[in-house]
Amino acid sequence: MPLKIRTESKEYKTMKSLYYRMNLSAEEKQHYLNLKKGYEGEVKFDTLTNSLDSKFYILNDLLLKSNNTTFQIDSLLIAQMAIIICEIKTYEGDYYYKEEGFYVCKNNKEITNPFHQLQRCETLLRQLLQKQGFDLPIEGNLIFIHPEFFLYQAPQNEQIIHSPQLPNFIKSLSMKPSTLNGNHRKIADSLLNAHITDSPFSQVPTYEYEGLRKGCKCGVCDSFDVVCGERRIRCMTCGSEEPIELAVLRCTEELILLFPKHRITTNMIHDWCKVVDSKKTIRRILLKHYKLTGHGKYSYFNTVITG
């Protein structure tokens, strides 16, 4: 197990829910699709670095602050002689590099130079580690994970890994010396401690309960076309089935994510899930998983996990 595994961010999960439950603007939809693509690319990269787990400390998806600047590291490996950081890009299609600029071939549009981004990341991480008395060298890599990405006139002095080079890149990492000691562990712990949970970059549109589409989405294909049987929910689009209990819990967690301040009641989940007719069933499930607080009509389920 890596020391820090990648999970779907709060922003990504919220945008995914809103994508299916409200009318997002074209820009907001694109934002969700970019988050999705980014996350999927990073997960794909993780499947490759998993094999290095026994050799190095692996910390995925770090959000750190140095010199009052917040920055993100997609994947960080602590090896014996160096800290290896990987910035994962999911660009597809043809691009070219010209005079420190990064351009899309089809329209000559300039985009943020990912090399500069990586260098900035390296500098900020170096400063952060130096402040804490660590001085392991940092090696930065830009990983272009999409198989159909190509960069014309790619600069020679940068560490760029294209998709077909990934197996060799992982192999070269696996050859690196990997005798880790207490100091390496201290670096890992200090980065884990410094990690920020709530991203300041998060861009989620405003929404209200009334404006959202209610219903239980299929856990596999996100379709709302589900029916409730005696014990299971069945999706009419993809045919998958899920025990009612799991579906209700999934919907409840989604509601808590969207409205962390709302008090969860049986009626609310009944209205939110739509598909489960029996309030008794919903109440039984909620009682099993959450603590009932208060009395009578003022009671609600305490969904705050207290360790």
Name the site residues for Zn ion (rule: CB under 5 A).
218, 220-221, 223, 235, 237-238, 240
Nearest distance in Å: CB 216, Zn ion: 11
Nearest distance in Å: CB 253, Zn ion: 18
Would you say 53 or 222 has its CB closer to Zn ion?
222
Nearest distance in Å: CB 236, Zn ion: 8
Would you say 11 or 241 has its CB closer to Zn ion?
241
User: How many CB atoms neighbour CB 106 within 10 A?
Assistant: 9
Would you say 33 or 236 has its CB closer to Zn ion?
236
CA 65, CA 69: separation in Å to the nearest integer? Answer: 5
Contacts of 99 (CB under 8 A, 6+ apart): none
In single-letter form, the type of residue at position 297 comes to K
Tell me the residue ranges of DSSP E strands in the chain.
57-66, 69-78, 83-89, 93-98, 101-104, 110-111, 138-144, 149-152, 160-162, 226-228, 232-235, 241-243, 291-293, 300-302
Would you say 69 or 237 has its CB closer to Zn ion?
237
Strands 226-228 and 232-235, how do they pair?
antiparallel
Would you say 125 or 216 has its CB closer to Zn ion?
216
User: How many CB atoms neighbour CB 296 within 10 A?
Assistant: 5
Nearest distance in Å: CB 231, Zn ion: 17
Nearest distance in Å: CB 34, Zn ion: 24
Nearest distance in Å: CB 232, Zn ion: 13
